Amino acid sequence: MNTLKLLVVFLTAGALHSCEKLVDDGYRIDYDSSDASFSAEAIDFESGAPGDVISYRLEVNSNQPIRSCVVLATNDGASGSGYDVGAEGYDDPFADHNYGTIKKGITSFVVKYDYIIPEDINKSRITFKVIDEMGEVSEEVTVRVVSPVKAYSNRFLYAKSALFYDAFASIDGLVYPDIKSNYSAVSTENLDVQEKVDVIFYYDAEARSAVICSPDDNRVNLDLQIENATRFKKMADISSEDFESVTPASMVALTSDDSIAYNGGSQVRDLMVGDVVGFTTDVNAIHSLKTGLIRINGLHPANVDHYAGTAYVMECDIITQTDQ
């Protein structure tokens, strides 16, 4: 939908009325400019995944009585989009919530508008218009759509040494045990696994160092047909609380400034409980274009059936997102 449509609260797109019906409430096509002060600012993030709510704080101060506050968008918000008139700390200046008509005599207000991202769009341009008795003032914002995040909790990767270790695939969230022994022989099934694997955990006993690395890291010598070039970087500025509250928009914000693909490396050593490691998958891989975060929840000796004797385990949570 490229044509701008009026967004009204609590009505679906099919219930929209023609602009002519709003003339008495102060809405028409052409207006002179108003000298009213008007701002429209995102309360949190300006991007999100389908179904996410993007909220805006609209503040207007005018020397004239305000007649209408209307919203136009290139893509209608999903059901439930509209003014949140019950939000704490915000006003309800509307005489008619359907059309954005303002009560008589009001010259200023602060309202909250929620835009719920619909399915199957890449972005939406939203124009907020305030019409007073002098004319019109407007602000335009752009909602950008990002991919949802996938969270994989309580993943356990075991390692016997720098020769025998488990691997993780961000495409399906599965741990593949003893990757070198079980998946190096050439077969269709093994190649499918090799295409998926992004993350390897091993333990450097000599250095007493727990390590996350990529399949193409030369220290692990996998001898696989496909060795993806994942890149990793410790994310010192991301707290456990940040990790817990990750949303599609915050995932982009938390990882975009670190340029993991350029500033990261093929491995991260000396892992400690509480560390958060960012990764980006091989741009040339079959299952590519993903960014992820790994939070280390536990590192300790352990026993597991597929390794004889004592092994080492990394307990972790992993969040991934397909890059746009």
pLDDT for residue 194: 94
Q: What is the pTM of this model?
A: 0.81
Residue 306: strand, helix, or coil? coil
Q: In this structure, are residues 68 and 102 in contact, taking their beta carbons and an 8 Å threshold?
A: yes
Of 169, 315, 293, 313, nearest to 240 (Cα)? 293
Q: Which residues of 25-36 are buried (b: 16+ CB within 10 A; e: fewer)?
A: bbbeeebeebeb
Sequence-distant (6+) residues with CB within 8 A of 102 are 26, 65, 66, 67, 68, 69, 93, 94, 95, 109
pLDDT for residue 20: 35
Domains contained in the chain, CATH given: 5-145 (2.60.40.10), 149-322 (no CATH)
Per-residue pLDDT of the chain (324 residues; tens, 9 = 90+): 433 333 333 333 333 333 333 344 444 567 899 999 999 999 999 999 999 999 999 999 999 999 999 999 999 999 999 999 889 999 999 998 878 999 999 999 999 999 999 999 999 999 999 999 999 999 999 999 999 999 999 999 999 987 899 999 999 999 999 998 999 898 999 999 999 999 999 998 888 999 999 999 988 877 788 999 999 999 999 998 999 999 999 999 888 866 888 889 999 999 999 999 999 999 888 888 899 999 999 999 999 999 999 999 999 999 999 886
